[in-house]
Amino acid sequence: GIYVCAKCGHELFSSRAKYEHSSPWPAFTETLREDSVAKREERPGALKVTCGKCGNGLGHEFLNDGPKRGQSRF
């Protein structure tokens, strides 16, 4: 399936990129498309992530914290 922004319905993530993580929130390795989200650095190793269409807050991208070496976690 496709995960969409709760505010505007913009497509964000594919269920194919979802994986189990110790956090209580869904975790993804990549966005559906390059323009699915907007990012800005919040602190080293973590980017603030918002919807690429409406700017709704989506949490963070944690660099190099995915299931495989070099992957990010959304």
Structure tokens at 4: 């969409």
Domains of the chain: which residue ranges?
1-60
Neighbours of 63 (CB within 10 A): 15
Between 16 and 45, residue with greater pLDDT: 16
Give phi and psi for 15, each to the nearest 5: -65, -20
Identify which of 59, 68, 64 has the alpha carbon closest to the alpha carbon of residue 25.
Answer: 59
**pLDDT (0 to 100) of residue 25:** 85
Residue 65 has pLDDT above 90, yes or no: no
Q: Which pLDDT band, with edges at 50, 70 and 90, does 23 fall under?
A: confident
Class of domain 1-60: mainly beta
Tens-digit pLDDT profile for residues 29-53: 999 999 999 999 998 889 999 999 9
The predicted model scores a pTM of: 0.86
* One-letter amino acid for residue 50 of the chain: T
**SS3 state at 16:** helix
